[in-house]
Amino acid sequence: MNRLSPSSIRPSPKSHFPYLFAALFIVVFVDSWRRAGIDPTVFFEAKGRAALWKFLTGMFPPDLSWPFLSLMFRPTLETIQISLLGTIIAVMIGFPLSLLGTNSLIVRGILNDPELLGAPVRRTLRYALYFTARGLLSLFRSIPEFVWAFMFVRAVGLGPFPGVLAIGVAYGGMLGKVYSEIFEGVNHRPLEALQSLGANKLQIFFYGWFPQALPNFVSYTLYRWECAVRASAILGLVGAGGLGQQIEISMRMFNFSEVMTILIILFSMVAAVDYISAKVRALL
């Protein structure tokens, strides 16, 4: 039996990357703190304490009068509609792009190797589709929905419609990116079994690929719907309708009790969406 001599046992050299990364992080953090002008002491100064106290005391008690609550019914309904329609458009954008942007579904893997082997032109076209889809997904999600709302307000005018478009495009890029990663992470053994039984591409996809990805699809889509409820309220600040527009009006009029009421409505909406999402996920 071969024995290792003590001289042949040497510790592996330690990587300096963790120390370099930690040093770089500290430098970036300190520089960001300085450039952003972060100064927590302003909250404890006399002027800061007075402004904060005025805002907090003005929020209580919330305005629960019937005239104001009845006025909030339509903006609340608009916020729900913006988030729901925006999420539906996001799925309509993200799902097909995710199919084209999944490497193992378009370019490589058991669905493509027999077809693309020895066909360089067809493989090049597939790669062109793949990179185009990935580029569009990156473009859509790299621009915040707030900026998309600004552009759509200029294009189609004020109202809920630009908010729907902004959420649809921005969240379409996010959903497409995650959908493609879910597709990449499926177990390929059932797909190989289906192929060995003579199943075609569509059968492999709908009976082997998609059922594995569906629970994660639904879970992440519902999560994005929760985010869309909050985002639709923010988009109202740029004229996209909903509760955000009412928050801006109340803030400008210094009616902080109305702001508190709207925040309670938003909290209730998000909690309701979270409850519905949990029930749907439990059925999968």
Any idea where the domains of the chain sit in the sequence? 66-283
Cα dist from 251 to 58, 79, 237, whole Å: 11, 18, 11
Q: Mean pLDDT, to the nearest integer, of 139-155?
A: 86
Q: In the prediction, which pLDDT does 124 show?
A: 79
Topology at the third CATH level for domain 66-283: MetI-like fold (1.10.3720)
> In terms of pLDDT, which residue wins out, 102 or 138?
138
Q: In the prediction, which pLDDT does 95 show?
A: 92
Q: How confident is the model at residue 3 (pLDDT cuts 50, 70, 90)?
A: low
Report the amino acid identity of residue 64.
L
Q: In the prediction, which pLDDT does 114 show?
A: 62
| Segment holding 190, helix H or strand E | helix 189-196
Whether this prediction's pTM lies above 0.95 is answered by: no
Q: In the prediction, which pLDDT does 172 show?
A: 92
Q: In the prediction, which pLDDT does 88 show?
A: 93
Q: How confident is the model at residue 116 (pLDDT cuts 50, 70, 90)?
A: low
Closest-CA residue to 153 (of 139, 137, 168, 164): 164
Mean pLDDT, the chain, whole residue set:
81
Q: In the prediction, which pLDDT does 1 show?
A: 47
Render pLDDT for 127-145 as a digit per residue (tens, 0 to 9).
Answer: 888 889 889 999 998 888 8
Q: Which one of 10-19, 196-205, 217-226, 272-281 scores highest in mean pLDDT?
A: 217-226
Q: Mean pLDDT, to the nearest integer, of 55-73?
A: 82
pLDDT > 90: percent of the chain: 11
What are phi and psi for residue 239, nearest 5 degrees?
A: 95, 20
93 pLDDT higher than 90: yes
240 pLDDT higher than 70: no
Round to whole Å and give the CA distance between 250 and 58: 12
Q: Mean pLDDT, to the nearest integer, of 242-250?
A: 80
Round to whole Å and give the CA distance between 74 and 77: 5
Closest-CA residue to 270 (of 76, 88, 70, 72): 76
